[in-house]
Homo-oligomer: A and B are copies of this chain.
Amino acid sequence: MCEANAYLLKNGEMKLIMESVDTVLPEGKGIQLTNIFGEQKFFKAIIYSLSLVDHKIFLKEKEQD
């Protein structure tokens, strides 16, 4: 399986927010993450960068608008 762990970059810190992520889809003002177990989480963030061989997805919190 090729799922990855998702980390959120916020105020200079990096926090693990979801493991075994399958899909990341744009949803309203943010993104919806779904893992291989069907669990979903929403974040007001963008997909910032990827490191797939390391199984890592980095999200970055959106600035206030």
- Copies of this protein in the complex: 2
Chain A binding surface SS class: strand
Inter-subunit contact B1/A23 (CB<8 Å):
no
> How does the 8 Å CB contact mask read for A8-35 relative to B, with 1 for contact and 0 for none?
0000000000000111111000000000
> How does the 8 Å CB contact mask read for A41-60 relative to B, with 1 for contact and 0 for none?
00000111111110101000
- Within the assembled complex, what's the spacing in Å between the Cα atoms of A21 and B51? 9
Q: Is A3 part of the contact surface with B, judged by Cβ < 8 Å?
A: yes
**Nearest residue, chain B, Cβ from A24:** B50
Starting from the known contacts A23-B51, A50-B50, 4 additional A-B residue pairs (CB-CB under 8 Å) come to A2-B52, A23-B50, A47-B47, A52-B52
